[in-house]
Amino acid sequence: MGKLQVGDGQNMYDWTYTGNAAYAHVLAAEALLRIDVNTPARPEDEDMRVDGEAFVITNDEPWPFWEFVRTVGATAGYPVKKEDIWAVLAWAFYWLAVCAEWGVWAVSLGRKESRLNRQMIKDLSMSRKFDISKAKRRLGYRPQVGVKEGIERAVEAYMAKSPDVT
């Protein structure tokens, strides 16, 4: 998949290094431990509540989806040159997926689903960026590990556990 790109490659994704997610959990636990359950929240404190709240956690460093994929590959020892990338328009690949879904359905008499499908094309070509200002404000969250370093750590850990992959 490293040489194939769905869309123009400009779709941005917010990634989250697992260590940053764990760090956010620690901050949330610490904030919850500071809450006095016997004292009701004051109206002026409502915008700083932690209990009962959901927080979005990312690296706060959106990357183009396909650049991320290729950086993971390059870090694992499989670099791809820009001139070798074959970019297919998302709408064209979407219709190819529709044909694949129908073809697999017809051949299998509805018992199988195509591995190439419309949802996959949507996921590969959409942007997903999130606002983490609430976590920053209420938890004091700041990512500890950047995307590039997170990729390096993750690939190194994976390669160490699976030496036969290379």
Classify 16 as helix, strand or coil: coil
pTM of the model: 0.83
Q: How many domains does the chain have?
A: 1
CA 156 to CA 142: how far, in whole Å?
24
Among 68, 64, 55, CA closest to 131: 55
pLDDT digits (tens), the chain, 166 positions = 569 999 999 999 999 999 999 999 999 999 999 876 666 666 567 788 898 899 999 999 999 999 999 999 999 999 999 999 999 999 999 999 999 999 999 999 999 999 999 999 999 999 999 999 999 999 999 999 999 999 999 999 999 988 776 5
86-88/12-13 β-pairing: unpaired
Boundaries of domain holding 31: 4-165
pLDDT at 63: 97
pLDDT at 46: 75
Find the CATH number of the domain harbouring 143.
3.40.50.720
